[in-house]
Amino acid sequence: MQRNIILIGFMGTGKSTIGRNLSRASGCTLIDTDNLLEEQEGCAISQIFAQKGEDSFRDLETRALRELTQHQGHVIATGGGIIGREENRQLLRQLGYVVWLIAKPSEILKRTARNNSRPLLNHKDPEKTIRELLEQRTPLYRETAHLEIETDHLSFEEVTAGIIESARYHFGSQAEQE
């Protein structure tokens, strides 16, 4: 595969796990933007939020996406809020085939409950925060994605197989138009 597959979606929807599966199945290198930023900054995402604030973190995400436009043949797993900026949504679509992974708020809460490194959920009512953020972000995810997949009742293998087949079709149709 010469083009990139990009995974977007809220935290806890399976982007990192599906990304690893897609990487193995396709032979493409996985780039996780959160891991990339942690490596570049020398600290965890939660520390970047605490020390520099969310706006600075979002600036780092935008910079990373600009740099990634020079790469092809990768699986790219993104952070949940990366779609918040118009420039990022455009860059994501330039990068390749964008897949939006979806899960219900109750499932997201279940998947993220034991993880204290989620800066946006570290307070009294994380489920309320999940619902509010999903309400804000859903139209942005939908605007950005080529494909939407609900992950609640599918195995990671089923999601991976569906993405690979859909990406092949997408890239094949694109090649015919060029």
The structure tokens listed for 66 are 């600009």
DSSP letters, 99-154, are: EEEE--HHHHHHHHTT-TT-GGG-SS-HHHHHHHHHHHHHHHHHHH-SEEEE-TTS
pLDDT of 22 over the 80 cut:
yes
Q: Is residue 36 part of a domain?
A: yes
- State the maximum Cα–Cα separation within the chain, in Å, rounded to a whole number: 52
Question: How confident is residue 52, by pLDDT bands cut at 50, 70 and 90?
Answer: very high
Q: Is residue 91 part of a domain?
A: yes
What is the domain range of residue 99?
A: 4-172
pLDDT of 63 over the 60 cut:
yes
CB 78 within 8 A of CB 8: yes
Which domain CATH number covers 109? 3.40.50.300
Q: Is residue 178 part of a domain?
A: no
Q: What are residue 97's DSSP bridge partners? A: 5
What total number of domains does the chain contain?
A: 1
pLDDT of 19 over the 70 cut:
yes
Q: Is residue 44 part of a domain?
A: yes
Give this prediction's pTM.
0.91
Question: How confident is residue 1, by pLDDT bands cut at 50, 70 and 90?
Answer: very low
How confident is the model over 66-85, as a mean pLDDT? 94
CB 174 within 8 A of CB 72: no
Q: Is residue 126 part of a domain?
A: yes
pLDDT per residue as tens digits for the range 83-112: 999 999 999 999 999 999 999 998 988 887
Q: Is residue 162 part of a domain?
A: yes
